[in-house]
Amino acid sequence: MPSETPVTLQFTEEMKGYFSLGQFDFEEGYRRGEHAILLHLTIRTENLDNFVTDPQHQAKVLGYIDSPLIGGRCPILKGQFMLLAPSGDQNRKTMRYRLFFENSSGEQLTLAGIKQVQNNPGPDLWQDTTTLFTNLYRGHIREVEDAIQTPLGSGILHISLSDFLHQLKTFRADAPSLSARLAAIEQFGRCFLGELWDVHGLPRRSKNIRYQREIPLHTLEGVSDAEVSTHYATTGDGLGISLLRFQRAPCADVVLLVPGLTASSDMFIMPEHKNLTQTLLDAGFTDVWTLDGRISNRHPYNLSRHRYNVDDLALYDNPAALATIRKAVGDSARIHIISHCLGALSIAMSLFGKTIEGIASVIANGVALTPKVNMPAYVKLHLGPFLAESVLGIEYMNPAWSHQAGLSAGKVLAKAVSLFHRECNVPECHMTSFMWGYGNPVLFKHENLHDITHLRTGDLFGGSGVNYYRHILKMLKSDNTAVKFKPDESRYRNLPDNYFQNAAEITTPILLVTGQDNALFGDSNVLCYQRLSTLKPAQHELALIPGYGHADVIIGKNAARDVFPRFIEFLRKNAVNYV
């Protein structure tokens, strides 16, 4: 029963670690260890009952930050803490820290930290609750503003065992009697342990949802006030591909949107929130095209045991699409490209392989010329294609297998995959994580998606054969570099063996984009930016999106607020006239 007089409670914790400027991967920032950093924090709630009943479990933070980076010890001017607050995943909660302070020169700074408490395989409870991933921002930045800021750098802090044992001695409750003080500490402990049990306790999986379509498949309802037309092209190897054109008025700067493998134009025209096509039209780019090539789920080419590779996209699909656009818009128009995932990889390969020319600018999300994946995904790339084709006899991987009629190897596999994915109850989401890497989930962060978007994962991301995986694996083995898959095959003779071969000659500016929490390609685009910057300093740009993963950079419910303004800024910078 809530007490009549609010009870205050506080405790102190100390975390130590390392931080590096200009590094946006937490692990890399810690590994480089440019600056030692210490947090001495007192977490205090003025009303314990309110703290316990608040789903976010918010409290204020006092204390100081000590690091040579900021000129020594600096007091925290204002701080906020959230204890095991809900996330977008059923089996993950977060501890969030936001600390406003000024360095020794009086410059306003914000340290934002998060502990990810998730029930992953293996004993990870200690690591989860004692590891703080941190970003440093210029200015006093609210959490809602993180995604539109570029961090000054990143790092990791830890609580040591000795500091944790000391922390247990610092709990203080302001109550009229000893028994009341002990009861308050017990109340906090029950809250903390209860939240941990929700994550790490016995599995309590809710039944998987059977998808009932709310948004029509391949709908165009997400774009208003534009004339829509379909245009067809034939690739050099004899496939029919298509493009959608959304035009309000003729425009000197035309934008082409290129989806990733098994996605389609649909990821750019989603009706459940303001999408990228609508955003571009409203920003004055009044002639927008979307490509559905051989990797699009609007065509059947993925749904077989094919032998296509990324070179085919670079050599055949992208040139055919751009020739179709050029014929429609004329030679004077400037063409800009916004591309995602394998679409971005293929566009970069076309550009640096010189199969496309005259491109005004390129925005590449997730990956460009330097694919990187985590170690479990790397192992899967070695084994997966062989096991799928030669052991299970699967023609292609399909996110929708779980709800197929009858019994099949694919359906059994999908049901088995769902057993290891407790983060949500959408089986199509489980399968896309299985298909595209290792994580819970891989393609996006759940909290960034509209509920309807999450439910229609299987509509937005279709099936695919596994041969593209083989090409990605070859790139990973080639020092994380885009290389030709079959250098001895004559039809690819005009492509470079290494796509960095002509990098110094390419004049097209590129904005390399990645979510800081990209579970698929990690910091691939950070690496690409670093390599390209050594060849062409100041030509290319990097946009890191804190709080975002991979596909949610494009399909996220708040991407129009958090991400797309950066796209518009870059396009305008490279437009004929400032739009």
> DSSP letters along 171-234, please?
-EEE-SSHHHHHHHHHHHHHHHHHHHHHHHSS--PPPPPPP--SS-TT--TT--SSEEEEEEEE
Q: Give the residue-averaged pLDDT of 94-105.
A: 95
Please give the pLDDT value at position 326.
98
b/e per residue, 515-524, with b = 16+ CB within 10 A?
A: bbbbbbbbbb
Residue 423: pLDDT band (50, 70, 90) is confident
Please give the pLDDT value at position 578.
44
Q: Does the pLDDT value for residue 274 go beyond 50?
A: yes
Q: Give the residue-averaged pLDDT of 372-383.
A: 96
Please give the pLDDT value at position 201.
65
The rounded distance, in Å, linking the Cα atoms of 255 and 253 is: 7
How high is the mean pLDDT of the chain?
93
Residue 32 CB-density burial (10 A; 0-12 exposed, 13-18 middle, 19+ buried): middle
Q: Does the pLDDT value for residue 86 go beyond 60?
A: yes
Please give the pLDDT value at position 454.
96
What would the CATH number be for the domain defined by 227-371+490-573?
Answer: 3.40.50.1820
Please give the pLDDT value at position 577.
56
Note the helical H segments in 237-374: 276-282, 310-312, 318-329, 341-352
Q: Give the residue-averaged pLDDT of 397-406.
A: 90
Residue 92: pLDDT band (50, 70, 90) is confident
From the centroid of its chain, how far is CA 320?
Answer: 30
Quickly count: other Cβ atoms within 10 Å of residue 250's Cβ. Answer: 11
Q: Mind listing the pLDDT tens digit for each residue in 505-552?
A: 999 999 999 999 999 999 999 999 999 999 999 999 999 999 999 999
Residue 1: pLDDT band (50, 70, 90) is very low
Q: Give the residue-averaged pLDDT of 472-494.
A: 97
Q: Both tokens of residue 466?
A: 């596994």
Share of the chain above pLDDT 70, in %: 97
Write out the E strands in 22-91: 35-45, 58-67, 72-86
Q: What angle do CA 579, 570, 242 make, to 5 degrees?
A: 85
Residue 211: pLDDT band (50, 70, 90) is confident
Q: Which residues sit opposite 256 in a β-bridge?
A: 289, 337
Pairing of strands 8-21, 35-45: antiparallel
Query: What ranges do the domains of the chain cover?
Result: 8-200, 227-371+490-573, 375-460
Q: Mind listing the pLDDT tens digit for each residue in 120-139?
A: 766 778 898 999 999 999 99
Q: Give the residue-averaged pLDDT of 250-261.
A: 98
Q: What count of residues does the chain have?
A: 579
Q: Mind listing the pLDDT tens digit for each residue in 288-340?
A: 999 999 999 999 999 999 999 999 999 999 999 999 999 999 999 999 999 99
Please give the pLDDT value at position 579.
41
Q: Give the residue-averaged pLDDT of 242-264.
A: 98
